[in-house]
Amino acid sequence: MSGRKMINNRKIYKMITVFAVVLSLAAANIPAASASFSPSVDSLRIGLSVGTGVVPSANLRPTDDQGRGYDFGYFDNNRNFVPIGAWTGETSITMLMDRNMVWNPAADEGRGQYQDGVSGNVTVGCFHVQLNAGYGTFDEARAEADKRQGAFVRYESSQQQPFLVMIGQHTTRAAAESAISSLGLVGAASVNAGTSNTIAVTITGTNRIIFEFDRGTTPLGIMPRTSGGKAETWYKGLRYNGSFQYSRRGGAELTVVNVVDIEDYVKGILPYEMNNAWPIEALKAQALCARTYGMSNLNRHSSDGADLCVLEHCQVYKGRGAANERTDQAVNETAGIYVTYNNRLAQTFFASTNGGASENVENVWAESIPYLRGVVDPYEADIVSKVSNYYWTIKYTPAQLTDRLKSRITGFSLSTIASMRVSKYSATGNAIEVTLTDVNGKSMTLSRRSQLLAGLGTPTMRFDIGGAAWGSGSIYANDPGQPVPPASTYYGIGANGVAVPVPRDSMYAITGSGNTVAVSGETTSPGGSSTGLVDGYFVINGAGNGHQIGMSQWGAYSMAFYHNLTFEDIILFYFTGVEITRTR
């Protein structure tokens, strides 16, 4: 037994002594480990438009007047940009499929986009007149193109002389063939309609093609030029540092990837994963989690030619928009610092809140990881009033619960549920098994977070069934008939015998057998029973919101703001036995 239910079974105790689980962080605040780990790369490939989010065209322009155009090339296997000598001084450019396309100024939330079509005010055709002569350099080909109206340079790596001169754009092959005749180029030119890999570059909003790129399945790389400082470029209304890759994977629409320095990547995450006004030490802890998570998940989206996506599936990344001096400071002051375990990068998961305790990863997902251990979290108690719906209650009638389980749990075969109870708690007091019994006496047990959350709809695994709402109820010491009087603050014996405040929802007790158990309120409300029913409803009361693995973001806030603890303290508290490794 453990958790709240254990408190009601008072006879098993010879004596209960209420105390705080207080970590002596002064001892934990050890110097960072030496640089035994070294990152294999210094940049990440972040999928901006990938998978089902690919686009027919993609606009780029600088965010200020420092932009001086773009260099074209590709990225090698070490993520180094390889220029091919091609460039443009134009600043507002659009990459698009080499197909018949029409400019729609209202598309893409008013930013404009080229879309499939042959009829419109601005149409870009995919049939071009190609001069038969090839050139070894972009400058040679451009010099020839500059002699002809509507001409541009195409790079085609399969040709011995890869730079070709193309003239005009037409929506049909017949029109391009007619142009060869009217230009007097019969025998000196042919029609080129590109391939399924070809990417055209236009001046945004016009039918003026300025470059084409075809290196097979190798993506087009674009490096912004700037007259000073770090390049910052608009893409889909967001501002990004770094360079960009464009590919037509399988001949489809454009996959767009941002190739960005690891520190600039973290700067583009931090204000979206944590409030940019939060304490600097909490922001630093988040920076470590973001940096370590990013570098430890290289090639997670390899099928898209990317490491990570921009969504919560990986980490929320939106570039420079919400970054400020505070978030940049947090990144700069922790640059090159990672969280490691046994000289390897740790998986630095984080979530909003844990409800008062995190959890061992194997009780949430499948794999056991030694540094992802559940810890009792006394710090969240300080921020309960700041977090909307920190404590929550969910109610179901027996019929509602049964219908929900039938639609969400594979293999569910029970009749109407008659009773529901938490049949197993973890060492930190989270529900890890719930047993359901139907009206016919048949039982089934839900386990792991995926089943519990899918079946019961709870935000966390930190809950009880059929009891008082969390944050209420009585607690006891020694005599179950004498509750401890309510108080705004309780105290326990902490490090070095010093009395320290104890958060109400993170109290623990030592049983007569020497076990540590969570101390909490009564398991039943008036009208409740061992069936989990309260006035005809199954009542689930709990706390927190998140997967409960790794760092609590609000806990980090509390540690930094209320307890003056450092980012090292925060990381070492939430990740068991890790090292903080400086690589610079």
In a domain, 92, yes or no: yes
Give the closest residue to 166 by CA, choosing from 178, 181, 156, 157: 156
Expressed as residue numbers, the domain containing 110 is 55-253
pLDDT per residue rounded down to tens, the chain (584 residues): 333 333 333 222 222 333 333 434 443 444 445 557 889 999 999 999 999 999 999 999 999 989 999 999 999 999 999 999 999 999 999 999 999 999 999 999 999 999 999 999 999 999 999 999 999 999 999 999 999 999 999 999 999 999 999 999 999 999 999 999 999 999 999 999 999 999 999 999 999 999 999 999 999 999 999 998 899 999 999 999 999 999 999 999 999 999 999 999 999 999 999 999 999 999 999 999 999 999 999 999 999 999 999 998 899 999 999 999 999 999 999 999 999 999 999 999 999 999 999 999 999 998 899 999 999 999 999 999 999 999 999 999 999 999 999 999 999 999 999 999 999 999 999 999 999 999 999 999 999 888 999 999 999 999 999 987 777 654 555 554 444 444 434 556 554 554 455 554 555 565 555 555 555 443 333 333 589 999 999 999 999 999 999 999 999 999 999 999 999 999 999 999 999 999 98
Give me the pLDDT at residue 478, please: 52
Give me the pLDDT at residue 144, please: 97
Give me the pLDDT at residue 528, please: 39
In a domain, 438, yes or no: no
Q: What is the largest CA-CA distance in the chain?
A: 105
Residue 83 neighbours by CB distance under 10 Å: 13
Provide the domain count of the chain: 1
Bridge partners (DSSP) of residue 317 are: none
Give me the pLDDT at residue 525, please: 34
In a domain, 576, yes or no: no
Asked if residue 351 lies in contact with residue 549, where contact means CB atoms within 8 angstroms, the answer is yes
Q: CA–CA separation, 86 vs 165, rounded Å?
A: 13
In a domain, 181, yes or no: yes
In a domain, 1, yes or no: no
Give me the pLDDT at residue 416, please: 97
In a domain, 61, yes or no: yes
pTM above 0.95, yes or no: no
Joined together, the tokens standing for residue 46 give 């972040």
Q: CA–CA separation, 189 vs 169, rounded Å?
A: 14
Tokens 């210094």 sit at which residue? 42
In a domain, 526, yes or no: no
Q: CA–CA separation, 430 vs 374, rounded Å?
A: 9
Give me the pLDDT at residue 22, please: 40
Joined together, the tokens standing for residue 326 give 């505070």
In a domain, 258, yes or no: no
Secondary structure class of 576 (helix, strand, coil): coil
Give me the pLDDT at residue 507, please: 58
